């Protein structure tokens, strides 16, 4: 799970990913297989939180898209991202059965992925496709 855009990975731009694995040896094996000088991989044992981050960031991106549709500025979008990120942490603490590490939210699968999803990839294309603000 990562803060990257598929087309940028394909273009061999610098990207990073976090692999959530409850078995560290498995995560390290995937890291060895996938990591390149332009694709950095970290292994996180908090795999449930990694998975939740991947799902919940899309809800935050949807809210940021609504802000854009209503012609709100970047400050409003930043506030929505921050509040969404705080809600992601609260959700994980409430619904994860295991330990939820704050450090996981600071990995590529957390804050960085929220930002890249809200401002890059298809979101950017849609924003430019129908610019009315």
Residue 7: the pLDDT is 83
Burial class (CB in 10 A: 0-12, 13-18, 19+), 76: middle
- Top CATH class of 6-129 equals mainly alpha
Report the C-alpha gap between 17 and 107 in whole angstroms. 8
Residue 4: the pLDDT is 78
Cβ-count burial 39-62 (b if 16+ within 10 Å, e if not): bbbebbbbbbbbebbbebbeebbe
Report the C-alpha gap between 51 and 91 in whole angstroms. 12
Q: Which helix (H) or strand (E) holds 42?
A: strand 39-44
| pTM of full prediction above 0.75 | yes
- Domain spans of the chain, in order of start: 6-129
For residue 31, indicate whether it is catalytic.
Answer: no
Residue 83: the pLDDT is 98
Residue 58: the pLDDT is 92
Which whole-number Å values give the CA distances from 55 to 11, 24, 48, 121, in the listed order? 25, 22, 11, 16
pLDDT per residue, tens digit, the chain (133 aa), is 567 788 888 899 999 999 999 999 999 999 999 999 999 999 999 999 999 999 999 999 999 988 988 889 999 999 999 999 999 999 999 998 888 999 999 999 999 999 998 887 665 556 565 566 6
Question: Which of 22, 31, 57, 77 does the annotation list as catalytic?
Answer: 57
Residue 1: the pLDDT is 59
Residue 6: the pLDDT is 82
């Amino acid at each position: 799970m990562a803060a990257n855009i598929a087309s940028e990975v394909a273009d061999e731009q610098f990207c990073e990913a976090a692999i959530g694995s409850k078995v560290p040896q498995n995560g390290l094996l995937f890291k060895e297989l996938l990591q390149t000088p332009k694709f950095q991989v970290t292994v996180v044992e908090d795999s449930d939180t990694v998975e939740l981050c991947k799902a919940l960031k899309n809800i935050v991106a949807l809210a940021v898209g609504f802000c854009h549709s209503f012609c709100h500025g970047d400050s409003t979008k930043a506030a929505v991202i921050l509040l969404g990120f705080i809600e992601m942490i609260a959700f994980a603490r409430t619904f994860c059965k295991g330990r939820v590490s704050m450090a996981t939210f600071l990995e590529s699968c957390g804050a960085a992925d929220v930002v890249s999803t809200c401002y890059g990839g298809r979101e950017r294309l849609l924003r430019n496709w129908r610019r009315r603000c």
